[in-house]
Amino acid sequence: MNQQHPADQASSPVGGPTLRADGATLLRDGAPHRLLSGSIHYFRVHPDQWEDRLLRVRAMGLNTVDTYVPWNWHEAERGSFDFTGWRDVERFVRLAGDLGLDVVVRPGPYICAEWDNGGLPAWLTATPGIRLRCSDETYLAAVAAWFDELVPRLAALQASRGGPIVAVQVENEYGSYGDDHAYMAWVHDALAARGIDELLFTADGPTDLMLDGGTLPGVLAAATFGSRPGQALDKLTGRRGEQPFVCAEFWNGWFDHWGDPHHVRGADSAASDVRELLDLGGSVSLYMAHGGTNFGLTAGANHDGTRIQPTVTSYDSDAAVAEDGTVTPKFFALRKVLTEHRGDVGDTQDDRWIQPPVRLPAQALPPVSTRPLLPALWALGAATAASSPLTFEQLGQNAGLVLHTATPILPRGSSTLSILGLHDRATVYVDGHEVGVLERETSHRGLTVHGQGVPVRLEILVENLGRINYGPRLGEHKGILGDVLVERRIVHGWTSRSLPLDLLPVDGLWAGGATGEPGAADSDRADAVGPQGVIARTTLDVDEPADAFLALPGWTKGFVWVNDVLLGRYWERGPQHTLYVPAPLLRAGSNTVTVLELHEVGSDLELKDEAVLGEPEEYVEEL
C-alpha cells in the first residue's frame, strides 16, 4: 500500500466553520455561543432507544450532544466495515440534529471510553512490531484506511453542509499517552484532508504533562476534568493565552471496576462545579449525560500497575440520566444550572421526558434447566494443535474464552501447576473436574493438583476480562502468553479451541451441552473441589415488552444472553448485581434467558424493581 500523507490529499471545504473562536469568545454563526453538551454513546444504547435518551438530555437543558466513534465497533475484521443497525452512526447524528441538537464527534482513532482496547481493533494491536498512537508507518496506514471510510460520512453531516456536526476532536487525551507531535499533526491533517472543515480541537487534562503532549499550535485546546474549573482555566490561559474555555469532559460521575466500590458523585457537588465553570464563561460537555451499557464483551479494563481492573457491564456512571433512562436528582440539579445560563428554558420543562421508563415487575423466573459446561464448549468450533497454548491473537480472536487441552503425566501425589504470562483468568480442570482458578496477578504461584503417575486430561479455560483501554499497556495481548508448568516442567502438546462468545450462536452453546463428555471422568477423584460450570436456561414470559433488571442470586461468574443477544458479564464480587435488559431485546410472549456459569449455580434468576449497582462510595477528589 502506498501511504499518502493527508496533507497531500485534496479536500473540499464547502464553507467556513459554524463554530469559531474570537479571542476568548466562542461564536456560532457569528454570534456568541456556549456549548452545553453531554455525552451519549450510540454504541452503548439500543438504537430503538436513541431518540428517548436524546430527548431526555435535551430536556435537561443541553443544546449539544457528543459521541465517540469506536473503530473496533465498525471494523472488527480488517477491511470489513459495518455502519448498519446498531452501528449506524450517521443515523444517530442525523437523529440528534432532527431533535434540535448540535453534535460534537470524537472519532479517535483512539477513544479510551472504558471501551475494549480503547476502540482500537484487536487485529490491529495483534500486528507484529506495531507501535500504537505514533508515527509508526504500519499504524498510520491502518488509520488512513479507517478514516477513508469514516470521515467522509461525518464530513457530509457537518453544519457547513446542512447537518448538525459543529466540532470534531483530534485524537483523544493524547497527552496522557505520548508526545509525538508529528503524529498529532498527522491526525489533524487527516481529518481536514477528508473534508472536516468545522472546528477541530484537542482535549487533555489541565496539567503541564498532559498539555505538553497533547496540544497543537493554532488548534483549540479543550480540557477534561471533574472539579476545580478555575484552576483549569488558569492553566489553559497561562499556556495558550486568550481562547474559549471549553471543558470537553466534565466528570459528573465515574465508572466502576469489578471488585471495587460503586462510584457516585453527589448532585450538589456536580452542579456546583458546573455552575462555577459556566460563571467563568466556559462551555461544557457532561461526561456522561447518559452512560448506557457495555453490552456483550465490549467493556475494557484498566491496570493500576499491580493488577488488572476490568470494567463492569453497566456504564451507568452515576449520570444524570441513568442506564435505563430514569432521570435522577443530578438531572434536576444540573437542569437548574444549565437553564439559568441558557437564558431560556426551551422544552426543559416538558414533563414527558422526566417520566420513568416502564419496567417489568419484580418476579422470579421459572427454575433453570442445566447442562454441563465443558461438553457445550467442546461442541463449538474446531481445535488448533500447537506445542504451546495459542494466544487470542494467534487464534485471530478478540474476546471471550479459549479452551486449552493437553495430556501431561501428573507425578504421584501433589504437585504445583502454574501459568506464566496469564492474561487474564483461568479455570483449571483435571479429567473433567474443576480443580481451581488462577488469576493474572498470582498465576505464577500456581495451584495444587494430584496425580497417579499417569496421563490426565488437563484443560484450562482462559477468559479475556477486557482489553486495557488506557495507558502504556494499551494493546496488550490476551490468553496464555508464556508456558504452563507442572512444577518446573513445561507442558507441551496442546489444542486450543476458540470461543468468541459474542459471535457464537447461543442455541448452539445450549445444544452442545447435551452431548456426551469425551473420555471417562471419575466423579470421586480427589481433584474435584466444588461444583462444576454449566449452561443454564429458563424463560421470561411478558405480555408487553418493558425494561427489566435481571439478578442472579448465588451465581458465581459468567455471561447472560436474552434471546440471542449477549447482555454481558456478571460476577459475584460486584459491585454490580443486576444486568439491564432493554425493552427492545424482549418480545411479547416467551423469551429465552441463557446463562454460561463458569463455576457454581445459584438460586433461580429473578427480576428486580431497580438496578443494584453496589454500595455507593462518594468519588470526587480524584476527578
Q: Please, which pLDDT band fits residue 458 given cuts at 50, 70 and 90?
A: very high
With b for 16 or more beta-carbon neighbours within 10 A and e for fewer, the 93-103 pattern comes to: bebbbebebbb
Tell me which residue of 58, 65, 74, 61 sits closest to 41, measured CA to CA.
65
Tell me which residue of 177, 314, 325 sits closest to 255, measured CA to CA.
314
Q: Characterise 621 by phi-psi region: left (phi > 0), alpha (psi -120 to 50), beta (else).
A: alpha
Q: Please, which pLDDT band fits residue 616 given cuts at 50, 70 and 90?
A: confident
89 pLDDT above the threshold of 80: yes
Cα 306 from chain centre: 21
Cell 476532536 sits at which residue? 169
6 pLDDT above the threshold of 60: no
Average pLDDT over residues 577-593: 98
pLDDT given for residue 348 in this prediction? 54
Average pLDDT over residues 474-502: 98
Average pLDDT over residues 1-23: 57
100-157, pLDDT tens digit by residue? 999 999 999 999 999 999 999 999 999 999 999 999 999 999 999 999 999 999 999 9
11 pLDDT above the threshold of 70: no
Please state, in angstroms and rounded to a whole number, the distance separating the CA atoms of residues 600 and 584: 30
Please state, in angstroms and rounded to a whole number, the distance separating the CA atoms of residues 199 and 98: 21
Residue 455, CA distances (Å) to 388, 408, 410, 432, 528 in order: 17, 5, 6, 13, 17
Phi then psi dihedrals of residue 89, to 5 deg: -60, -35
236-281, pLDDT tens digit by residue? 999 999 999 999 999 999 999 999 999 999 999 999 999 999 999 9
pLDDT given for residue 353 in this prediction? 85
Average confidence score pLDDT of the chain: 93
pLDDT given for residue 329 in this prediction? 97
pLDDT given for residue 264 in this prediction? 96
Average pLDDT over residues 341-366: 82
| DSSP string over 344-363 | S-TTTT-GGGGSPPPBPPPE
Non-local CB neighbours of 87 within 8 Å, separated by 6+ positions: 43, 73, 74
499-548, pLDDT tens digit by residue? 999 999 999 999 998 874 543 333 333 344 457 999 999 999 999 999 99
Q: Please, which pLDDT band fits residue 603 given cuts at 50, 70 and 90?
A: confident
Residue 547 buriedness (CB in 10 A; 0-12 / 13-18 / 19+): buried
Please state, in angstroms and rounded to a whole number, the distance separating the CA atoms of residues 39 and 479: 33
416 pLDDT above the threshold of 60: yes
pLDDT given for residue 514 in this prediction? 84
71 pLDDT above the threshold of 90: yes
10 pLDDT above the threshold of 80: no
Q: Please, which pLDDT band fits residue 342 given cuts at 50, 70 and 90?
A: confident
pLDDT given for residue 622 in this prediction? 52
pLDDT given for residue 481 in this prediction? 98
pLDDT given for residue 158 in this prediction? 98
The share of the chain scoring above pLDDT 70, in percent, equals 93
5 pLDDT above the threshold of 60: no
Average pLDDT over residues 197-226: 98
* Contact in structure between 193 and 170 (CB atoms under 8 Å): no
Q: Could you give the residue numbers annotated as active site?
A: 173, 249
pLDDT given for residue 623 in this prediction? 53
CB hemisphere CA count around 313 (13 angstroms): 27
With b for 16 or more beta-carbon neighbours within 10 A and e for fewer, the 490-507 pattern comes to: ebeebbbbbbbbbebebe
pLDDT given for residue 618 in this prediction? 75
2 pLDDT above the threshold of 70: no
Please state, in angstroms and rounded to a whole number, the distance separating the CA atoms of residues 621 and 599: 38
pLDDT given for residue 617 in this prediction? 78
